Structure 1
Amino acid sequence: MEGGRRKLIGAHMSIAGGLWNAVQGSVTIGGCVFGMFLGSQRSWKSRPLDEKALARFRQACSQHGFTPDRILPHGSYLLNCGSPKPDVYEKSRAMLIDELKRCEQLGLTMFNFHPGSTLHDITVEECLDRIADSINHAHQHTTGVTTVIENMSCQGNTVGGKFSELRGIIDRVKDKSRIGVCLDTCHAFAAGYDLSAVGGVKKMLDEFDWTVGLQYLKAVHLNDSKGKLGCHLDRHENIGEGEIGLEGFRQIMNEPRLDNMPMILETPVRYRGRGCPVQGFDWLICLLCSQA
């Protein structure tokens, strides 16, 4: 806590042994929010959720105080809702609906996924059309779950690395109440937004607000970057051990526009810099209480 502001910090948790284990895992490391996958990352189809699993997950969330706004499921990396390949496009659309229905069953209200790729076979605008059409199609078959698209690193033929591309998707989505953005810090840095510079986080958020609108910002993925500024490589690094560095994350922790939204680490939660022995999120709290 700093100046009455609050950061909601957690991590992406394993669902090995059952979805409910993600809840217990988050409790163990002291997280107050968490991310997770909803099924296998190797298959286009996941087994249906049985009633016992649903009940056990809901009970664990209720017991430990994890409300739906503090849980951000992550979509399969197989998804490419903008694919020019007919088979991948249709399977992605079907998977998106299935994932949103799983969120409905679990009582969750947000679902995060990577927008897609042109595969160098279609234009960016055509890809944005396909992604938005997939989202609109999924919205027609589901209720109450916000689709949260993630900014990308501009690696290869992925779309969403530029804020204007995120805005392009949002503009094409019919139900604006069910669309949002998750900002990944590594992706942003690799795409050219200098979060390591003094005032860099503020500058990025100013641009995001101008181009996309802060009302669409729903969550943050906290990742340092193995690659240098503008490298376009999606290579996550432990916090404080990459090119963004501790000062960049101190700015993030002290940025009031990032209060009260899920901030999820996708790298190990143990900080190893400078021989620091602190486990869990205590070291991030120290950053939060520091001056940027």
Structure 2
Amino acid sequence: MVETRRATRAAVQPQPQPEAKPIPAKRPSKRARKEPAADINPDDEPGEHIQEADKPAKRARRRTSKKEDATPPNPADFLARVSSPWKIGAHVSAKGGVENTVLNAARVGANAFALFVKSQRKWSSPPLTEQSITTFKARMKEFGYDPKHVLPHGSYLINLGNPDEEKREKSYECFLDDLKRCEQLGLALYNFHPGSTVGKATKQESIAHIAQCINRAHKETTSVVIVIENMAGAGNIIGSQFEELRDIIDLVEDKSRIGVCLDTCHMFAAGYDISTRDGWEATLQKFDDQIGLSYLRGMHLNDSKTPLGSKKDRHENIGLGTLPLHAFHALLTSPHTQNLPLVLETPSFEADAVWRAEIRVLNRLCAQGLGGGEGERQGGEKTIEEDVPGMIDEIRAVVRVHAKGAETDRGKGKAASTSKTRAKPKGKGKKKASSHGDEDADSDSDGSCAHDED
């Protein structure tokens, strides 16, 4: 458009003359060659015909772009998905509309996925359009995704445990809006962080507030199952221990519409040692004893940057953190995790290749060790111990490339915005949104996950 405007200005700019009023005889012919339909009066100001003559050209280009974008995606053009009872996927971007999450999941070979149904860092967002809803549902069918394998994630601002009634009500409205959007999209699950005491209530008081909000929401919606996520245990956060999740569930009236999502990084940071097969099985038994395996409705698959019991929520790429790859092998050969959404929230560096590599490796883990003990194979195949180093190297190589690229891009962005940053008055920046919903925020996101608690 910049070139078009310059050309237009050149075509209509009066030529300087020493004295007499110019008679731009050639201007109409030049202009006519560029846009024959334009009726240009030589006595008009140049800016007047630029404004009028440019408008049709703009509209024509936009119509062409929309026509091109309207070409329906063909599932055959996307990455082939592995057939497996373990439904592995990732939390994909909803940039450009929730309907694009289906395509983004298909691009990385995901059999499950998570999404934000609106901006996770704003209290309110525009309603879903009928076109987005219709396209989302059509793509779900076309690409073969089951709604029970989609695990939407709630807004980071929500804190149903806040003892301040006004702030809790604000969180509840945001929470209820999320649930209604899920129902509009035909989705069966909704995952959220339970909340925080903000240091002004006991955990039991905040747990009662959370359960009360869930009961209210059940009455105002029809079908979505509310899935509480376990947390890492930082500060006043609720839900790091299974007992706290059980206490919430005990107060929920409709037990058929409540469940739990277990995050591997959060479990490990909270002190549950799932780094070995024995540790995973013991943890799962504890979950069954205290809550019940029937409440397990999904999982977040994340390695941890910090050690066991750190109480820090720091996600790392699979196999590159403090959780060994054997831990994920144990999880992904357990019958209790079949047919659940198993969603990566690892750093992707905005590159499909990272999640593709992680999903590929995790699907290979699913296929190994079935029908036998850990490490057993048939017909001379490699053992899991022999495979693990190569799998880790595969992920590390992809992460190294894209992490370096992301760092370079961040550096360029910082350099470009240095002058603006210096000019900003002290204390006038946007509020940072806390992940447990104690603050407001103006920032938006394209749906990429950043799940640090503190």
Alignment counterpart, residue 278 of structure 2, candidates 167, 180, 199: 199
Aligned residue for 1:136, secondary structure, equals helix
The aligned counterpart of 1:231 is: 310
Aligned residue for 2:115, secondary structure, equals strand
Tell me how far 1:114 sits from its aligned partner: 0.3
Alignment counterpart, residue 279 of structure 1, candidates 357, 381, 388: 357
Alignment counterpart, residue 256 of structure 2, candidates 152, 169, 177: 177
User: Is 1:65 matched with 2:144?
Assistant: yes
Instruction: Let me know the Cα RMSD of the aligned residues.
Output: 1.6
Residues 1-292 of structure 1 mapped to structure 2, 5 A cutoff:
6-268=85-347, 279=357, 281-291=359-369, 292=374
Tell me how far 1:268 sits from its aligned partner: 4.3
User: For residues 48 and 5 of structure 1, do their structure 2 counterparts lie closer, same or farther at Cα, with a shift above 3 Å needed?
Assistant: closer
Per-residue CA deviations over 1:19-45 (Å, capped at 9, x if unaligned) read: 111100111111011000011122111
Aligned residue for 1:158, secondary structure, equals coil
Which AA in structure 1 matches 2:114?
G
Aligned residue for 2:183, secondary structure, equals helix
Distance 1:205 1:36 in 2: 26
Q: Residue 269 of structure 1 contacts residue 279 of structure 1 at CA under 8 Å; is this kept in 2?
A: no
Which AA in structure 2 matches 1:288?
C
Which AA in structure 2 matches 1:225?
S
Tell me how far 1:269 sits from its aligned partner: 6.4
Per-residue CA deviations over 1:30-71 (Å, capped at 9, x if unaligned) read: 101100001112211111111111101111111101121011
Aligned residue for 2:342, secondary structure, equals strand
User: For residues 105 and 198 of structure 1, do their structure 2 counterparts lie closer, same or farther at Cα, with a shift above 3 Å needed?
Assistant: closer
Q: Residue 250 of structure 1 contacts residue 287 of structure 1 at CA under 8 Å; is this kept in 2?
A: yes
User: For residues 146 and 198 of structure 1, do their structure 2 counterparts lie closer, same or farther at Cα, with a shift above 3 Å needed?
Assistant: closer
Aligned residue for 2:343, secondary structure, equals strand
Q: Residue 230 of structure 2 contacts residue 267 of structure 2 at CA under 8 Å; is this kept in 1?
A: yes
Highest Rg: 1 or 2? Answer: 2
Aligned residue for 1:159, secondary structure, equals coil
Q: Which has the higher helix share?
A: 2
Distance 1:181 1:198 in 2: 21
Farther off after superposition, 47-56 or 194-203: 194-203
Aligned residue for 1:72, secondary structure, equals coil
The aligned counterpart of 2:33 is: none
Tell me how far 1:284 sits from its aligned partner: 1.2
Q: Residue 88 of structure 2 contacts residue 363 of structure 2 at CA under 8 Å; is this kept in 1?
A: no
Per-residue CA deviations over 1:190-210 (Å, capped at 9, x if unaligned) read: 000011134111111000000
Aligned residue for 1:181, secondary structure, equals strand
Tell me how far 1:226 sits from its aligned partner: 0.7
Which AA in structure 2 matches 1:287?
L
Distance 2:166 2:306 in 1: 33
Q: Residue 11 of structure 1 contacts residue 269 of structure 1 at CA under 8 Å; is this kept in 2?
A: no
Distance 2:99 2:139 in 1: 6
Aligned residue for 2:269, secondary structure, equals helix
Distance 1:186 1:268 in 2: 13
Per-residue CA deviations over 1:178-235 (Å, capped at 9, x if unaligned) read: 0000000000000000111341111110000000000000000000111100000011
- Percent sequence identity is 48
TM-score (ref. length: structure 2)? 0.61
Q: Residue 287 of structure 2 contacts residue 293 of structure 2 at CA under 8 Å; is this kept in 1?
A: yes
The aligned counterpart of 1:273 is: none
Q: Residue 162 of structure 1 contacts residue 191 of structure 1 at CA under 8 Å; is this kept in 2?
A: yes
TM-score (ref. length: structure 1)? 0.93
Which AA in structure 2 matches 1:279?
A
Distance 1:155 1:170 in 2: 21
Aligned residue for 1:22, secondary structure, equals helix
The structure 1 segments of at least 4 consecutive aligned residues displaced by more than 6 Å after TM superposition are none
Tell me how far 1:5 sits from its aligned partner: 7.3
Which AA in structure 2 matches 1:289?
A
Distance 1:21 1:94 in 2: 26
Q: Which has the higher strand share?
A: 1
Farther off after superposition, 127-136 or 86-95: 86-95
Q: Which runs of 5+ in 2 are unaligned?
A: 1-82, 375-454
Q: Residue 151 of structure 1 contacts residue 160 of structure 1 at CA under 8 Å; is this kept in 2?
A: yes
Distance 1:198 1:281 in 2: 20
Q: Residue 149 of structure 2 contacts residue 339 of structure 2 at CA under 8 Å; is this kept in 1?
A: no
Larger RCO: 1 or 2 (CA < 8 Å, sep 6+): 1
